[in-house]
Amino acid sequence: MTEFNKPTQEKDWDALAEEQLASIKRDMKIIVEAAAVRAAHKVMAEFETRNAAIEEVAQHIEKLQGFGKDTVDSLAIYIRGMKK
C-alpha cells in the first residue's frame, strides 16, 4: 500500500461539532454577560445623573420665596419623588 492509499483515520465529526458548538456557546455567554454588565452600569450612571439633577431642582425650589413653607416643602417632596 502506498502512502496515498493508506486508509485515513476516521474522525468523529459529530463529537467535533458538539465541541465547537459548546465552545461557541461558552464564548457567547461570556460576551452577553459582559454586555449586560456594561448596560447596567450605563443605566445606573444615567439614573445617578438624573437623580442629581432632580435633587438640585428640589434644593432650588426650597429657596423659593413668595409661597408658604408648606407649599414649597410639598413641591420639593413631589420633585424628589421623581427620582429613580
pTM score above 0.75: no
Is 53 in contact with 83 (CB distance < 8 Å)? no
**What distances in angstroms separate CA 2 from CA 6, 8, 10, 28, 40, one per listed residue?**
7, 12, 18, 45, 63
Measured CA to CA, the distance from residue 59 to residue 3 in angstroms comes to: 87
Measured CA to CA, the distance from residue 41 to residue 51 in angstroms comes to: 15
The pLDDT tens digits for 4-62 are 555 556 678 888 999 999 999 999 999 999 999 999 999 999 999 999 999 999 999 99
The full set of domain ranges for the chain reads 13-80
- The H-assigned helical ranges of 1-84 are 13-62, 69-80
The pLDDT tens digits for 61-78 are 999 988 899 999 999 999
